[in-house]
Each structure stands twice: as structure tokens, then as C-alpha cells.
Amino acid sequence: MIRSHIEAPNTRAATAAIHGKAGMLAERFMRLPEVSATCGLPTSSIYDGMRRGDFPKPVPLTGKTVAWLASEIHEWMASRVAARQL
């Protein structure tokens, strides 16, 4: 059986975002306790921020399991520092 490998455009973009120049894994997932510890916000504030649209939304993994991209959490933290300097 011959399988053709066809990816949707958004899948290619997501794959490219996860892999570095040499195809090495450059991204990692963070679960909620780690996100909370990293950014210093309680769980309720994280979910409130997601509802308002000013905190990154998680990526669904399986079933009810979700995780956040570490790069998006770090970008959010950098944006908070930049906003402080305005």
C-alpha cells in the first residue's frame, strides 16, 4: 500500500514552528503547574487571562489534556516586561 503524505497548510506551519533549523526539536510543552510556577500567576488568573485574550491558549494534546508552548509563555512574560517599561 502506498501512502501519500499530504499536510494541510496550518499543519506545515505548526510543524515548522516546532522544529529548529536542523530539524531538531526546539519547542516543548508546559503543563499548567509549570506554567503557573514560571509566570507567577495562579491558575484562576491564567484562565481569566485566556478568556480576556491576553494570555496564550493551550494546545490540546489528548482528550482533556492540554499544555502550553514554552515559547508562548516566555513571549507573554517578555511582553509584560516591555509593557512595564512604557
Domains and CATH numbers, the chain: 29-84 (1.10.238)
Q: What is the DSSP letter of 54?
A: -
Query: Directed axis angle between helix 32-39 and helix 43-52, to 10°?
Result: 90
- Enter the pTM of the model: 0.70
- List pLDDT tens digits, range 44-82: 999 999 999 999 999 999 999 999 999 999 999 999 999
